[in-house]
Structure 1
Amino acid sequence: MIIPHRQLDPETLQNLLEEYATRDGTDYGEREVSLEDKVASLRRQLESKHIVIWFEPGEESVNLVLAEDLPKDGEY
């Protein structure tokens, strides 16, 4: 289920973005990128609807996913 980012408390959203940006395996290329820049990039992608916040009720997990990876037929 998609969670609209504007419905989250600002502190909760900040914590979610920071946690995602610091996960193992999150690759930002060859150059070092500050946490602040990573979070800002994620915010821009949320605003542009390039990514969405996805809550998986069965697993009680939250993730950021590419909007284009969601099925178009509403099966999620």
Structure 2
Amino acid sequence: MIVPWQELDPDTLENLLQSFVLREGTDYGEQELSLEHKVEQLKEQLKRKELVLVYSELHESVNLMPADAFSEKD
């Protein structure tokens, strides 16, 4: 189920995005980005509807997914 991120408390959204960034592991790019910068990038992708927040009832968890890859049937 898609969670409308606009309806979340700003602190809750921030915590969800930070959690996602931290579990993604180490950044091996040419330039290390701060946690804050990565979170801002995710917020921008949510605003552009490139990403969606998805709640899994089965796993009782929230995850970020590419909008074009998400299917309500999954």
Q: Same fold (TM over 0.5)?
A: yes
Q: Quick one: which amino acid aligns to residue 31 of structure 1?
A: Q
Could you list the per-position Cα deviations for residues 20-62 of structure 1 after superposition, in whole angstroms to 9, with x for gaps in the alignment? Answer: 1111436463320001100000000000010000000111011
Alignment match, 2:11: 11
**Paired residues, number:** 74
Structure-2 residue corresponding to 1:69? 69
Cα distance, 1:62–1:43 mapped onto 2, change above 3 Å: same
Match of 2:54 in 1: 54
Root mean square deviation, CA, Å: 1.6
Q: TM-score, normalised by structure 2?
A: 0.88
Quote the residue 2:42 is aligned against: 42
Q: How many Å apart are 1:70 and its aligned residue? A: 1.2
Work out the percentage of aligned pairs sharing the same amino acid. 47
| Residue 24 to residue 46, structure 1, CA distance change in 2 (3 Å) | closer
TM-score normalised by L of structure 1? 0.86
